[in-house]
Structure 1
Amino acid sequence: MPKVSAAAASGDGFRADINGLRAWAVVAVVLYHFNVAGFAGGFAGVDIFFVISGFLMASIVVGGLDTGRFNLPGFYLARARRILPALLVLVFAVLVVGWLLLMPSDYQTLGRHARESVLFSSNLQYLSESGYFDAASHEKWLLHTWSLSVEWQFYLIYPLLLMLLARVLPQSRPLLAVHLLALSASFAWCLLLTFEQPVRAFYLLPSRAWELLLGGSVFLLGRQMRLPERWPALVEGLGIALVAASIALIDASLPWPGALALLPTVGTALVLLAGRASSPWTGSAAAQWLGTRSYSIYLWHWPLVAGLVYFDRHNEVAWIVVGLALSLVMGHVSYVLVEVPARRWLASRTNVRSAVWLVTCLVVVAVSAQLVRRSGFPARLPEVLARVEAERHNKNPRQDECLSADARCIFGGQQVRALVVGDSHADALVTAVAAALPGSGEGVYFKAESGCLFVFGAKWAGKGERDDCRRLLEEVVAGLDSLYPGTPLILINRTTAYALGELPAPGGKPPHPMVYFSQKADGNDPAFQAEFRQHYLDTVCQLARHRPLYLLRPVPEMPADVPKAVGRAMQRGLPHEVSITRDQYRQRHAFVWGLQDEAARQCGAHILDPLPYLCDEQYCYGSRDGLPLYVDDDHLSETGNRRLVPMFARVFTDQSAPAGSPAMAQKR
């Protein structure tokens, strides 16, 4: 008979130390998300949960297999009874709140997130959108369900593998060795991904499985050994110290999960191995109360954080205190009125009836979420908000057809008077160029690819080789002499973002350039800026030797998604114009302005300046009179781009003017 660990458990298997560890984990996560000082590494609470889950799953599955009583459908049903009721209630409640608060596109996004949350695939959805630590993540009302998805995916696979192993490795020692081998492989993969693809390392099961397997390994190790009498307190103390250090000393700027995740996970493993039944660290009444309600507190706290962000109250101490208090209250209510009654009621039914009830409720919530995803139900909003929302979709109607390196599109008539080349900013403005054409039969030839900087030699940081962009550049260069000879070329790029990085969010990580040449560097690195300058000028001068070349000054970037910001402000009865100051614009784009001025002097390129049409003496506007001019934070809508028609008309006025005329002199 295998030895038992030093962990003292009650007759029903309850372990106070595990319950107390849950309290540590949920407190760390909640205080981190509410941005409470001293808990910069509180996100490690999720790693604590993972180790605990692995320990408990091993105890259930291995224990059941040892006695011959393990039942796979019963295991899945027990997990569903534990997890689903509170989750489904939360998701349905968030959908109701979204109906009252959110603009249709935001509501559709919430519907997609809700659907993936109840199907336990939300980690894959969030992986496709952005990183966990990105500022935009705070607007995702169900972001925290990613960890439930990882755990459920583990629950699906783990018992199947243990059942297979139990047939060939009936003893604990080889089973422990297999756990350690799989743990090592997952940890090595995690280390690799943390530096190469950190978002994948964060969200995916293969790079997180080692944490759950660590918990399972601790359970198996505890069955084979007993700590000497004086060791449990020391082992637990070391474990608590490691957990506390991870919460206090780590922050989101460090690579995660990676090697640093050993602090909270090994710390948790040591506390589990010590298994002290009564401990000042885990056994207090407060820790037990929090641990018992930790799941419901975890579920409800994040929508409250997202709510504070939505109402722009997330930096106000009084509202943070309210949010923390509501997290405890809602967690307690969910535990008392949902978790416990549902678990008891379902356990009193047959397995078949219990499964039918759970599946039925899951389908109802998932279908509701899908209906929200497909519609967004715009009819629920006042007409003025519907107009704001419509502007989000008021973009180039041929975007799907033409924004591709392989597409060849003409806007307007077949008599091509200009070529427009660039990236998604070119796509956002090409219809305005076409609208500026003087003749009805005239047209604009268009070539663009999203995220493609038109500079020779550029490599894309973090994306590998961009074959689509390379093809675009090669095709345009090859056709400089033969493609509509003498026709002016208008180059439109979001050049500042490529050179300096995305517009930094307040309190967010410093941005990095999207491209590099010889080696990756910061945007303020003099060597990188010198390389960027030389490649940019070489490209522009080559283009300008073959035909008239026009460079568009950077379009102002707004500090927020304009339709979303305007709509939210309207809903709350607040001022709803979005703008930046001219000084902010100049500071952001000074580097690119200098490059364009130099290109005008050296290469004879002509400058198109959108500021007189989008700005006054003090501000550049993302909206006017409550109507957005952008579809997001940096792409003009079809409404906004029409303000630039007079500017683009200059191109055709210049080309029709005789040499030496005032118009031709002015364009230089």
Structure 2
Amino acid sequence: KHLFTFGLFGPQYFRMIFHSVILSRGCMKSEELQGLRGVAVIAVVLFHLKVEYVSRGFLGVDVFFVLSGYFMAKALFKKTVDFKSALNFYERRVKRLLPAYALLLFLITLAIPWFFILNEVDATLREIYFSMSFTTNFMFAVDPQDYFTKDKDLSSIVMHLWSLAVEMQFYFVAPLIFYAVNRLDRHDHRLVAHCFVIAVSLALHIFESSKSRQFYLLHCRLWEFVVGFVVQEFEQKTIQHKADDKMTNNWTQYKRIMSSLSVASSVILFWMLCGTKHPESDTDYFAYRICTILCTSLIILASSIAVNKLLSMRFLVYIGDISYILYLLHWPVIVLYHVHSFTLGSTGIVACLSISLTLSVLVHHTFEKPLLTRTFSHCFVISMAFYMITLFAISSRLPQNLSDQILRNRQGGNTTLYDLMKWNYDESIACCNSNPTECVRDLDTELWTGQRHQLANSCVMSGNGKHSVLVIGNSVSMSSFSTVHKVLNGRYSKLRFFAKQGCWMLVATCEEFWHWVTQVVDKMKPDIILITESQRLMNDRPEDDRVMEVAQQRIDYMRTHSRAVMVDTQYLIPDFPHSYALAHFLARGWTNMSISSMSLVRQLSLKRVSYDRITLLRGNNLVINNITFGFCERVEGICEGYNPNTLKAYTQTGAHINSYGYELLEPMYRQSIDKVFDIVSRN
């Protein structure tokens, strides 16, 4: 009854649409705060679109958390403490959030068979299953990939739902915190209690060892919500002071001060969310986050006293009105666009923005806003209908079966295409290539570095040679280690591998890891050190001579603590997910493709600084493994990411080479490693 008389085509439904569009400015919250919502969601969307000048847009989520805490406290402040009021509170939350959320999961489930292939279908459905219970953040908290890696790789279509999961979990603990604190009669006592909760959560955040748990879990984020409680406390105190005769006499001046403070905080907040500098360290992240939360708090506090014309602009206020729907829809739109074209660029950014905004406006006025005027039972029934359809599809494997059928139709039953598609897909998710089976847990390195648990990217093995070899680097070293091991062919007494993802030793991005490396070098005293890390960051800061100085100092340290050192140059290859793209193109039955390639001149110009710096490193026992041009030799003057004759890609991502790519580079590794052994034998 609800679905067909109201939920779909009933006359009341269209009446509600009319009212939502024509009278959309009716029951409005503070325009400044709606504008603040608009700023936050714009920042998040542009950050996800990789817009260069919004590199800190992810902080928009912190703005949402403080706003949620404030609105939560404001709603709870007006209620008496009893079961009925608590039930009404949760009904309003469910009515506000669940219908659009359930609709989103349903639409993603419909899209899966048409855009995803092979294991992607199962993985995405698993994520949807977790999302239905608002536990996505728990799933991501145990994932070795952090938030920023997922954002860069666009690897999860529901990644953005982690914040809604945290918010929903907060709704369950918020009344307990609020009512427990509000049992205290005095304002200053309540502030102390709230600050105690903030301090405990902040301590858990700071001392959490896992970056993923620190980012995704409620206990590490609770302090941001409770800051909103504190703002509400100050607001109530201000309202009380307003009635005071002394305050009344100075109210005009006080409003002027708060208005100026609000505008200044808005300008600072805009700067915090924008800019090209991404936080480089935990300290930077924390400083930006604290500043964002302070600015947000001041804007919220001032909103009940003075007008902020910056945030009251109609455009920002309207974006704030549709912010929830825009937040829900924008990320799936970006991911699906990327799966279709495998690049964003300026055209993709405009397309994704246009599609996201258009869909958000339509869903807001035809679905979200009309439902807000209906009863809880209407909203709950419609939400459960979407949930049940989605659950039925998942349990009956309809998306998997439909995906297989679509694949067969597109490929025309060509098994060769299917095998090539599967090979490229498997290579795209194989980062980084697994270590040889005989490479076992390295207890010595754990002892030397003071780590009391197994290091993820560390192992050791014995050979039949007489020289000890240490291989160090980052995730690129993990990809190349199998090739290095093959080339060494047992010519070592001991082979030790030690790497850390996301670290570039020669440009000093991970001081802790460099300290561990020095500990290992001092204790092991290797004859040979092979540095197989990516040198991508050597391309940064071309005018900074200090980069080259640090690199040479670290090379000199390793040269003096070993008998010979080898360091890789940066290979030239277009920064493009060739394996993944090729798998999807083959899934569509395409064999004549124009996948990203680039002229040698253009590639070298982009990475010239890195090439020059590495080749300028000096040392009489240093070998430069020049793999720079390995992918630029099949066609003269062109650097390729795949072989059009075999339809096999060379890369997993733009940064990591796959096993097929290392087959091309193997002769270069062999030549350089032979030179290293020649140096050692002469010495």
Contact 1:293 1:331 survives alignment (8 Å): yes
Deviations 1:424-465 (A, max 9, x none): 544433443555578xx989953212228999x989645635
Confirm or deny that 1:589 pairs with 2:628.
Answer: no
Match of 2:68 in 1: 53
User: 2:4 — aligned with what?
Assistant: none
Q: Is the 8 A contact 2:625 2:668 kept in 1?
A: yes
Residue of structure 2 in register with 1:163 after alignment: 179
Give the superposition deviation at 1:232: 9.4
Equivalent residue, structure 2, for 1:494 = 533
Q: 2:387 corresponds to which letter in structure 1?
A: C
For 1:79-90, what aligned pairs fall within 5 Å after superposition? 79-90=93-104
Match of 1:320 in 2: 350
Aligned to 2:439: 402
- The corresponding residue for 1:337 is 367
- Count of residues paired in the alignment: 596
Judge which range, 210-219 or 81-90, deviates more. 210-219
Could you tell me which runs of 5 or more consecutive residues in structure 1 were left unpaired when the two chains were aligned: 1-13, 481-488, 504-510, 512-521
Trace 1:147-162 onto structure 2 (pairs within 5 A): 147-162=163-178
Q: CA deviation at 1:161?
A: 1.8
Q: Which of the numbers 623, 635, 647 marks the counterpart of 2:642?
A: 623
For residues 467 and 395 of structure 2, the distance between their equivalents in structure 1, rounded to whole angstroms, comes to 46
| Aligned pairs for 1:48-447 within 5 A | 48-65=63-80, 68=82, 71-72=85-86, 75-102=89-116, 104=118, 110=124, 114=128, 117-122=131-136, 125=140, 129-130=145-146, 136=152, 141-166=157-182, 168-169=183-184, 171=185, 173-174=187-188, 176-178=190-192, 181-182=195-196, 185=199, 204-218=220-234, 220-221=236-237, 224-226=240-242, 228=248, 234=256, 237-238=259-260, 241-242=263-264, 244-246=266-268, 248-250=270-272, 251-252=274-275, 253=277, 256-273=288-305, 292-307=321-336, 311=341, 315-316=345-346, 320=350, 323-324=353-354, 326-334=356-364, 336-337=366-367, 340-341=370-371, 344=374, 346-347=376-377, 361=387, 368=394, 381=407, 383=418, 384-393=420-429, 396-398=433-435, 402=439, 405-406=442-443, 415-416=464-465, 421-423=470-472, 424-433=475-484, 435=486, 446-447=495-496
Letter matched to residue 99 of structure 2: P
Q: Residues 526 and 448 of structure 1: is their aligned pair in 2 closer, same or farther, counting only changes over 3 Å?
A: same
Give the deviation of 1:178 after TM superposition: 3.6
Given that residues 436 and 645 in structure 1 are in contact (C-alpha distance below 8 angstroms), is that contact kept between their aligned partners in structure 2?
A: yes
CA shift for structure 1 position 536? 0.9
Please state whether the residue corresponding to 1:591 is helix, strand or coil: helix
What letter matches 1:448 in structure 2? Answer: F
| Deviation per residue, 1:381-438 (Å, 9 max, x gap) | 4524323202225564546873864466559xx6458865314544433443555578
CA deviation after TM superposition for structure 1 residue 267, in Å: 1.4
Task: Indicate the SS of the match to 1:65.
Answer: coil
One-letter identity of the residue aligned with 1:259: C
Indicate how the Cα distance of structure 1 residues 30 and 143 shifts in structure 2: closer, same or farther if over 3 A, else same: farther
Partner of 1:484: none
TM-fit CA distance, 1:564: 2.7
Q: Given the alignment of the two structures, is residue 635 of structure 1 paired with residue 656 of structure 2, yes or no? A: yes
- CA displacement 1:74-122 (0-9 Å, x = unmatched): 5445423322221122133234334322455666665565455444455
Contact 1:240/1:267, CA 8 A, preserved across alignment: yes
Alignment of 1:434-513 (within 5 A): 435=486, 446-451=495-500, 461=509, 464=512, 469=517, 472-474=520-522, 476-477=524-525, 480=527, 489=528, 491-494=530-533, 496-497=535-536, 500=537
**Corresponding residue for 1:610?**
627
| 1:247-281, Cα deviation, whole Å (9 max, x unpaired) | 654424375222244333311221135599xx997
The change in CA–CA distance for 1:225 and 1:654 in structure 2 (over 3 A counts) is closer
TM-score where L is the length of structure 1: 0.69
Provide the C-alpha distance between the structure 1 equivalents of 2:60 and 2:630, rounded to a whole number of angstroms: 50
Matches within 5 A, 1:516-595: 525-544=544-563, 551-556=567-572, 558-567=574-583, 575-578=594-597, 581=600, 583=604, 584-595=606-617
The structure in which a higher percent of residues are helix is: 2
CA deviations 1:326-382 (Å, max 9, x no partner) are 524434425533564488464369xxxx69975993996699499999999788645
Whichever residue aligns with residue 576 of structure 2, its letter is: A
Asked if 1 retains the 8 angstrom alpha-carbon contact of 2:435 and 2:482, the reply is no
C-alpha displacement of 1:656 = 11
Give the structure 2 partner of residue 16 of structure 1. 28
> Which whole-Å CA distance do the structure 1 matches of 2:310 and 2:664 have between them?
68
SS of the residue 1:64 aligns to: coil
CA distance in 2, matches of 1:240, 1:610: 55
Instruction: Report the residue type matching 1:177 in the other structure.
Output: L
Alpha-carbon distance in 2 for matches of 1:361, 1:59:
31
Aligned-partner residue type, residue 628 of structure 1? A
**Deviation (angstroms), 1:533:** 0.9
Q: Equivalent residue of 2:29, what SS?
A: helix
3-state SS of the aligned residue for 2:512? coil
Q: Distance in 2 between matches of 1:612 and 1:313?
A: 24
User: Per-residue CA shift, 1:47-99, capped at 9, x if unaligned?
Assistant: 55444422332233233236x46654554454233222211221332343343
SS of 1:636 mapped into structure 2: coil
1: CA distance, partners of 2:348 / 2:179: 52
CA distance in 1 between partners of 2:531 and 2:438 (Å):
19
- What CA distance in whole angstroms lies between the structure 2 residues aligned with 1:645 and 1:416? 21
State whether residues 507 and 547 of structure 2, in contact with CA within 8 Å, keep that contact through their aligned partners in structure 1.
Answer: no
Distance 1:138 1:449 in 2: 28
Residue 150 of structure 2 contacts residue 159 of structure 2 at CA under 8 Å; is this kept in 1? Answer: no
Distance 1:656 1:113, change over 3 A: closer
1:112–1:417 CA distance, 2 compared to 1 (3 A)? farther
Structure 2 unaligned segments of length 5 or more: list them. 1-25, 279-286, 412-417, 444-457
Corresponding position of 1:5:
none
Q: TM-score when scaled to structure 2?
A: 0.68
Q: Distance in 2 between matches of 1:588 and 1:654?
A: 23
- Structure 1 residue identity aligned to 2:76: V
Equivalent AA in structure 2 for residue 493 of structure 1 = T
CA distance in structure 2 between the partners assigned to 1:370 and 1:172 by the alignment: 57
Which residue identity is paired with 2:423?
Answer: R
**Counterpart Cα distance in 1 of 2:373 and 2:438:** 52
State the alpha-carbon separation in 2 of the partners of residues 365 and 122 from structure 1.
16
Query: Identity over the aligned pairs, expressed in percent?
Result: 15
Shift of 1:543: 2.2
User: What letter matches 1:299 in structure 2?
Assistant: L
Q: Which residue of 1 aligns with 2:451?
A: none
User: 1:4 aligns to what?
Assistant: none
Distance 1:454 1:410, change over 3 A: farther
**SS in structure 1 of the partner of residue 496 of structure 2:** strand
Is the Cα contact below 8 Å between 2:92 and 2:376 reproduced in 1?
Answer: no
